[in-house]
């Protein structure tokens, strides 16, 4: 039963990732801004892979023990929660409104690319740093 649940979530996450690739068309060259457009799309796909990996690990391998009464651990978990919420909204909103930005689109693409990379690095840091309970 546990294997089936893992399989369903992995299949769903892969489907989400494949749909994102189909919608974004990451290597379709834009005539006016080829480099910045590729950067924003590839950085978003990298972010999405990190976010889906983090979601999978939290769903299945997070420790079930309550944190000790240490204030530091509670601050870290609260920081992780706030970071996860921001990490969910900022890149998704950034990629959705990119076509509405006309006058300073290249700058916008590079700014959102930087945010995507920073959030991806943060997610990877949490993935490496958190204690996972692999069964």
The pair of structure tokens assigned to 34 is 């080829």
Q: How far apart are CA 29 and CA 14, in angstroms?
A: 25
Q: What is the pLDDT of residue 28?
A: 84
The DSSP element (H or E) to which 4 belongs, if any, is helix 2-24
Query: Are 109 and 41 within 8 A, CB to CB?
Result: no
3-state helix, strand, coil in the chain (%, to 5): 80, 0, 20
Query: Are 31 and 105 within 8 A, CB to CB?
Result: no
Q: How far is CA 66 from the centre of its chain?
A: 26
The pair of structure tokens assigned to 44 is 């978003």
Q: How confident is the model at residue 80 (pLDDT cuts 50, 70, 90)?
A: confident
- DSSP-assigned letter for residue 104: T
Instruction: Assess whether pLDDT exceeds 80 at residue 135.
Output: no
Domain ranges of the chain: 2-129
CA angle 118, 90, 100 (to 5 degrees): 115
Listed range (41-45, 64-68, 70-74, 115-119) with the worst mean pLDDT: 64-68
**DSSP characters over 77-106:** HHHHHHHHHHHHHHHHHHHHSGGG--TTHH
The pair of structure tokens assigned to 41 is 């799309």
Q: What is the pLDDT of residue 65?
A: 59
Q: How far apart are CA 56 and CA 12, in angstroms?
A: 11
């Amino acid at each position: 039963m546990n294997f089936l649940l893992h399989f369903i979530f992995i299949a769903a996450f892969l489907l989400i990732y494949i749909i994102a690739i189909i919608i974004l068309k990451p290597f379709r060259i834009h005539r006016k801004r080829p480099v910045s457009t590729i950067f924003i799309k590839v950085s978003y796909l990298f972010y999405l892979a990190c976010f889906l990996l983090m979601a999978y690990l939290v769903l299945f391998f997070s420790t079930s023990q309550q944190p000790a009464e240490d204030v530091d651990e509670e601050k870290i978990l609260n920081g992780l929660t706030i970071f996860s919420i921001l990490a969910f909204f900022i890149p998704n909103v950034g990629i959705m409104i990119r076509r509405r930005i006309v006058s300073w689109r290249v700058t916008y693409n590079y700014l959102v690319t930087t945010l995507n990379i920073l959030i991806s690095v943060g997610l990877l840091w949490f993935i490496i740093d958190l204690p996972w309970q692999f069964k």
